[in-house]
Amino acid sequence: MKATAAEASLGVFDSGVGGLTVVQAITELLPNERVIYLGDTARVPYGNKSPDTVKRFARQDAAFLLGRGVKAIVVACNTATAFALPSLVADISVPVIGVLAPGVETALARTKSGRIGLIGTAGTIGSEAYQKAIRALRPDAHLVARATPLLVPLVEEDWLQHAVTRQVLEEYVRPMLSEGIDTLVLACTHYPLLKPLLAEIAGPDVALVDSATTCAAHLQRCLDMAGLAAPPATSGGIEIFLTDRPAHFESMARRFLKSPIHRIEVVSLPE
């Protein structure tokens, strides 16, 4: 039974293309794992939706992945993690992992001054989930949090190096840098795709903490503890399911994913 479970796929969901950063980090760290990715591209972004709506979307996303027989689910969306993770963990029998806690742990390990910046969707920043988690572990932390709602549409549009994107990032981040932050948490899985631009703007003295790599490392620990890591002989691969098929999705997927994509398919989610 345990060997069969270990050979099953991992399920990952996000509101759109951003979760591919988590998939890439997982496949780099865990090349034997098969991944089923669900991008809810018909309803992107989640960051401007109400908590109840995000919870409903997250339950539908998880139900789809469970229907595919996954052994664990990664909520590769900070907004869904902030609003829906506790109920998903309580209601689902397989391990469910979010992106928030690993990012918080890494940010606290990286910061030297305790001055930490947070950028994310309006939903994630407004939930104060990151702020509460950081202050619970370091009450004296000086947090500079800012909702950055224009970034997800820019990433979804594949404007990763566009002059407009640079201008928007500078408008968002420059005031945070003036407050002396030494660590910037990218509290949205779309944002790691903007790291080259952010690194130029923030400079070498500001550590950029992204949800993707920290989540993948946390997932590896969880799979090992649960005896669910894929056997060494298992061949990895990725299946992608979308609720809508943006014209540029395939080019972005192949740009950021080094593992083979076995298929890309448009699906409807269970109500």
Residues involved in catalysis: 77, 188
Q: How far is CA 63 from the centre of its chain?
A: 19
Contact between 22 and 102 (Cβ < 8 Å): no
User: Distance between CA atoms of 152 and 36, rounded to whole angstroms?
Assistant: 22
Q: How far is CA 253 from the centre of its chain?
A: 15
| Residues comprising the chain, all counted | 271
Contact between 230 and 6 (Cβ < 8 Å): yes
CA dihedral 134, 195, 150, 252 (to 10 degrees): -120
SS3 96: strand
**Burial of 216 (C-beta count, 10 Å sphere; 0-12/13-18/19+):** buried
For the residues of 98-112, what is the DSSP string, one character each? Answer: -SHHHHHHHHHHH-S
